[in-house]
Amino acid sequence: MTTDPAFAEAIEASLDIAAERGGDLTPIVYARLFERQPAMKALFWRDTSGSIKGEMLMRVFEAVLDFIRRRQFADHMIRTEIVTHAGYDVPPAVFATFFGLVAEVVREACGPAWTDAMAAAWRVTLADLDEYVGQH
C-alpha cells in the first residue's frame, strides 16, 4: 500500500517549509518529547552535543519520506526500530507517539503556510504509521 501521491506531495511540502522556516527542528522535537515523556531524557545522557538526537530525527524524516512514496525500507525499519528501542527501555507506546510529535513540530514550524491538504496528509500517514507500530 502506498500513500496517495497528493498526500505525499503535501507532506514533502510541509517538511520543506518546516526546514526553511524552522531550521534544525531537533531541539524542539526532543524538548517536546522530554516534556511529555520525562523518563526518555535519561536515555540520552551520552548525547551531550545533540548529534545522536539529530541523527535519529534525520532517520525519522527519511523513514517518513520513504513511507509516503516507495516503501522500500521504512515499514521494515520501523518494525526493527521498535525492537531496538525496546532494548533501550523505550516502550512501544512511547515509540508510537514520536511520529505524531514530529508532525506537530512540523505544523508549528510551517506556521501560516500549513494547509488543510498538509493536515489531511499527515493525519492519514500517521494513522498508517500507527498501524505499523501497532502490529508489532
CA-based nearest residue to 33, from 2, 56, 64: 56
Question: Which CATH number fits the domain that encloses residue 43?
Answer: 1.10.490.10
In the prediction, which pLDDT does 79 show? 86
User: How long is the chain?
Assistant: 136
Report the 10 Å Cβ neighbour count for 33: 20
For the record, the C-alpha cell of 135 comes out as 502490529
Lowest-pLDDT choice from 16-20, 40-44, 107-111, 115-119: 40-44
Burial grade of 83 (CB within 10 A; 0-12, 13-18, 19 or more): exposed
Number of domains the chain is built from: 1
- Does position 129 have pLDDT exceeding 80, yes or no? yes
Over pLDDT 70: what percentage of the chain? 96
Identify the domain containing residue 69 by its residue range: 5-134
55 CB-near residues (< 8 Å, 6+ apart): none
Q: pTM of the entire structure?
A: 0.91
Q: What are phi and psi of 46, to 5 degrees?
A: -85, -15
